[in-house]
Amino acid sequence: MKALVTGAAGFVGRHLVRRLKETGAEVIAVDIRPVGGAIRVDVTDGRSLSALMMKERPEAVFHLAAHISAPESVVDPIKYFHNNAIGTAVALEAARQADVSLFIYISSLAVYGEPTVLPITEASPVAPVNPYGASKLMGEEAVKVYNATYGLHYLIFRPSNIYGIGQNPEYAGVIAAFVKAVSEGRRPIIYGDGLQTRDFIDVKDVAELLAIAGTKRKVIDQTFNVSSGISVNIRELLGTVTSAAKKGQLIPIYKPKRPGDIRRSEVSNQRAREAFNWSPRYRLSEEIHELLKWQADER
């Protein structure tokens, strides 16, 4: 398979590119930041992206390129709508022109907003509570319109909170932020009371599912949650990190809840399990040791 991955220099992108290559795929890596071998293309620049796709003619496009900070999206919504919604429409148009057979769009659990019923399934209502979630949902709508209008086949994945090696602690991922703070002996910051729940999925499990989805062509034109199926609250999460780090108790600094943060998250992954014969293999309680080791090596 020949695959083009946008956002390939990012956290999830790098893991996905590696996994695709391991499965024997030829990968065209694209990112606005030309690091790790990625070709520099801005996905909102239709002419450049189209020229690249026409030249390379990938069978599948994995569209990951996006701005990903929900709090930042509250401060600068247009940046998010432009990059994430327009960027997805531009990527779809380039894929259509190049006769791509499958467009795999990495959406987000953020499209659901604050759930009214748990667990969240793919049938749950979508109601984003921040511009980031809305921009990802607009991308989904564009994907579906390209399918209905032009017959471009798609898969949409809505991952919960992804963690793993290589995640940037500055603007994403509470696990990355906790690991960095605890490793440096600093008090971690908790926004809100810390009783809000989240589902954390290992990036290796996400990359594995996406790689399977790119090759198993019987399942198309559907939407899937991607989650561990396990819900933990932020205080429990901090306990897991501090006990694994064996650095004693660090009293967190509590700051006000951020606008656009949701309260509860519990996410069914049943659909993806059944469709792709996939299940999450990595457990946070074990992977946390790898993350702490990686963080120590980074310093």
Ligand X SMILES: NC(=O)c1ccc[n+]([C@@H]2O[C@H](COP(=O)([O-])OP(=O)(O)OC[C@H]3O[C@@H](n4cnc5c(N)ncnc54)[C@H](O)[C@@H]3O)[C@@H](O)[C@H]2O)c1
* Nearest residue (CB) to ligand X, 33 versus 186: 33
Catalytic site includes residue 132? yes
Structure tokens at 27: 């990968």
Q: In angstroms, how far apart are the furthest CA atoms of the chain?
A: 58
Q: Are 291 and 165 in contact (CB under 8 A)?
A: yes
Q: Which of 25, 68, 111, 165 is the binder for ligand X (CB under 6 A)?
A: 68
- Residue 12 sits in the site that holds ligand X (CB under 6 A): yes
Q: Which of 3, 25, 43, 177 is the binder for ligand X (CB under 6 A)?
A: 43
- Residue 87 sits in the site that holds ligand X (CB under 6 A): yes
Structure tokens at 34: 């030309």
The CB-of-290 to ligand X minimum distance in angstroms stands at: 17
**Please, which residues have CB within 8 angstroms of residue 135's CB and are 6 or more apart in sequence?**
66, 73, 80, 81, 83, 84, 85
* Nearest residue (CB) to ligand X, 15 versus 182: 15
- Residue 83 sits in the site that holds ligand X (CB under 6 A): yes
Q: Would you tell me how many other CB atoms lie within 10 Å of the CB of residue 286? A: 10
Q: Are 63 and 105 in contact (CB under 8 A)?
A: yes
Contacts of ligand X in 227-286 (CB under 6 A): none
- Residue 90 sits in the site that holds ligand X (CB under 6 A): no
- Residue 31 sits in the site that holds ligand X (CB under 6 A): yes
How far is residue 83 from each of residues 32, 139, 299, measured CA to CA in Å? 11, 10, 32
274/279 Cα distance (integer angstroms): 9
The CB-of-73 to ligand X minimum distance in angstroms stands at: 11
Q: Which of 80, 105, 112, 132 is catalytic?
A: 132
User: What is the SS3 assignment for 236?
Assistant: helix
Q: Which of 5, 7, 152, 237 is the binder for ligand X (CB under 6 A)?
A: 7
Give the binding site for ligand X (CB under 6 A).
Answer: 6-7, 9-13, 31-33, 42-44, 64-68, 83, 87, 106, 108, 136, 159, 161-162, 168, 172-173
